[in-house]
A = this chain, B = another copy of it.
């Protein structure tokens, strides 16, 4: 009596969310301070004060100006503000009509994929990857083609991507800074990616779009620079979200930026508008559209994440854990102490450590430790990480 695929997706929820739910129940059982929950990317850093001040200001305005419908693509004010910010920061030439406001990054991706995909099209993802990518690509009628990242460094493997290009390739999702690995893809590798994609586009007479999933753009360490892909490759759509940069994950506010350098940019933008309509996104939440218009240049509190990162990496190094040195986002990608990541994560659970096995991201042998938590959680978890290590020595 129901759609079988939807039932399966609903009854086998995302493993990360399931671990988060286990954590909530376990905290209720043995006390919050005794569970070390590194499962979810739910920022512990508060939203900037400017958000609260802007909301306080906005709710004094006439109700229909604040809470009324905006145009489907978003208010002109916020789209102008975002275009101006993109232009200032990255020397682009965006206009309001290159920006489409969305209900967060997930919506940015489902709308972009539906706009681009014709039945049978292939979209490449870099393994390990955020598990919903496959669901969203298939929902849009496409096929999800996995290409492994480089061993140990988890940088792009350009040769492997080149091998995966076919006459059906329609796009590639690039997520940098990366969830789950914390890697920022080097400018060199992205220039090479642009080269092989341009060559393949020409050879096939076919458009190949890079979809940049960029919720972690602002969260980088040690003055690492995140290359802005639209400056390196014309056929690019950016899917942005304020969930992580402004600590507003529940508010579902983000945007799609259809690069003005894209061939047929206006056509793609209209398809984005159509996809938003077909999927039931009438407009992005209006109060937060207005909030973003006022707070578009607000800074992310990266220092707090940097402190967590230092604490966690030095602590785990000392205990003998191996991991990829994180350059961005707030995830530590650590090697499992046994071949099966799931078995390892289960053992960690017995020490009240909630970490996500890499099988959730399509590969084995690693775990993701999300450090957008309180400093205290990291400090208090160290004895548990120590006991866990001892079990394996």
Contacts and interface: CB of A to CB of B under 8 A. Distances in A.
- Number of this chain's copies in the complex: 2
B286 A250 contact: yes
Nearest to A46: B63
Contacts of A104: 282
Interface in A254-275: 263-264, 267-275
A159 interface: no
A287 B58 CA distance: 14
A247 B4 contact: no
A279 to B, nearest CB: 5
B7 A274 contact: yes
Contacts of A264: 1-2
A114 interface: yes
A1 B207 contact: yes
Contacts of A60: 52
A182 interface: no
Given A271-B2, A286-B251, A279 B279 contact: yes
A47 interface: yes
A128 interface: no
Interface string A57-94: 00110111011111110000000000000000000000
A272 B69 contact: no
A135 interface: yes
Given A47-B63, A285-B285, A280 B6 contact: no
29 contacts: A2-B267, A3-B275, A5-B274, A6-B115, A6-B275, A7-B115, A7-B270, A7-B271, A9-B274, A10-B270, A10-B272, A13-B72, A14-B277, A17-B71, A17-B72, A51-B67, A52-B60, A56-B56, A67-B249, A69-B250, A103-B252, A107-B281, A109-B280, A110-B279, A135-B278, A250-B287, A250-B289, A252-B283, A285-B285
Given A46-B64, A106-B280, A107-B280, 13 more contacts: A2-B270, A3-B115, A10-B274, A21-B71, A46-B62, A103-B252, A106-B281, A135-B278, A139-B278, A250-B285, A251-B287, A252-B286, A253-B285
Interface of A: 1-11, 13-14, 17, 21, 40, 42-44, 46-47, 51-52, 55-56, 59-60, 62-64, 66-72, 103-104, 106-107, 109-111, 114-118, 132, 135-136, 139, 206-207, 247-253, 263-264, 267-275, 277-289
